[in-house]
């Protein structure tokens, strides 16, 4: 028996969280444009103060000069077994009803992501019954 590729789950990471949904629902909501799957990294600068380093307790200390470095912080999701995300109910233009997805992070961050990426009007409701939306990318 062949598996339907549109029934497989896809995780879309964004700054502050992620959403996990079937591929077919992601195509219906975001279209076939794969750019929504490309997360955007945030350039982060770190400053380290000068300090003394002692390699062995009771041994001599070595001075370490202050320095600074920059890296790109990519969106992540929790990896523990209990971190499955929160079930939400989503509805969008042309969805033919409500669909279940899983959200990691806060609802306002998901709303911000949908408001910048969704070409269709989309609303969602948390398991507590709080409704959010509709969200739609401006200029569409």
pLDDT of 2: 62
The pLDDT assigned to 77 comes to 65
Does the reported pTM lie above 0.75?
A: no
Mean pLDDT per 10-residue section of the chain, whose length is 140 residues = 78 85 88 74 89 91 94 72 77 90 90 89 91 80
For residue 139, the model assigns a pLDDT of: 67
> DSSP string spanning 75-123?
P----STT---EEEEEEETT-SS-EEEEEEE-HHHHHHHHHHH-SS-EE
């Amino acid at each position: 028996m062949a598996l339907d590729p549109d029934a497989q789950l896809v995780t879309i990471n964004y700054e502050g969280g992620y959403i996990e949904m079937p591929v077919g629902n992601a195509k219906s909501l975001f279209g076939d444009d794969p750019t929504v799957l490309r997360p955007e990294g945030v350039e982060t600068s770190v400053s380290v103060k000068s300090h003394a380093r002692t390699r062995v307790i009771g041994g001599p200390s070595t001075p370490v000069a202050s320095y600074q470095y920059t890296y790109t912080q990519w969106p992540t999701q929790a990896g523990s077994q209990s971190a499955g995300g929160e079930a939400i109910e989503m509805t969008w233009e042309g969805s033919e009803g409500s669909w279940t997805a899983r959200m990691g992070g806060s609802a306002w961050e998901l709303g911000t992501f949908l408001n910048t990426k969704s070409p269709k009007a989309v609303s969602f409701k948390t398991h507590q019954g709080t409704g959010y939306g509709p969200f739609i990318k401006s200029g569409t």
